[in-house]
Structure 1
Amino acid sequence: MNNRQETPKEKRERLRQQELKKNPGGALRDGFSRGETGNLTDLTGGMGWKGTGILIVVLVVGYVLYKLLF
């Protein structure tokens, strides 16, 4: 057997996969409600600090361009 420690990300994914197998309907409903409400943590949770920084820069530049043009 492999002695390598499981990372938190791998553990979350393994638990998510187990939940999908046990209750596919509930997982689908959770996905829909998460998609409706959404939050910044879900958006940036999968990105690293570089991706989050680029997202912030794009949002700020987009807002400035919008204000300049309209």
Structure 2
Amino acid sequence: MDSRKETPEELIERLRQEELKNNPFGAFSDGVNRAEFGNSTGLFGGLGWKGTGIIILLLVIGYIIYKLLN
């Protein structure tokens, strides 16, 4: 194993892969639940705080423009 520390994203992915090996039907259930209820982890997990802030800012600006035009 590398001497470097594992990032949180790498840790989450490693644990997810181990869970897939140990319980494939549990992973299916997780996928169904994510599709039904939504999951922002995939969207915001890899962006970091700057990317998340930009998305939120764009949503707020879009909402303001929408309200001004109606």
Q: What is the TM-score of this pair, normalised by structure 1? A: 0.73
How far off its partner does 1:22 sit? 1.9
Q: Encode CA deviations 1:33-69: one digit per residue, 9 max, x unaligned.
A: 12322355x2433321111111111111111121122
Matches within 5 A, 1:1-70: 2-38=2-38, 42=41, 43-70=43-70
Which structure has more relative contact order (CA 8 Å, sep 6+)? It is 2
Report the identity percentage.
Answer: 62
Q: Are residues 39 and 12 of structure 1, via their aligned partners in 2, closer, same or farther at CA, if it must alter by over 3 Å? A: closer
After the TM superposition, list the runs of 4 or more consecutive aligned residues in structure 1 that deviate by more than 6 angstroms. Answer: none
Q: Is the 8 A contact 2:9 2:45 kept in 1?
A: no
Q: Distance in 2 between matches of 1:14 and 1:47?
A: 19
Q: CA deviation at 1:26?
A: 1.4
**What stretches of structure 1 of length at least 5 have no aligned partner?**
none
**Aligned residue-pair number:** 69
Structure 1 distance, partners of 2:44, 2:6, is 22
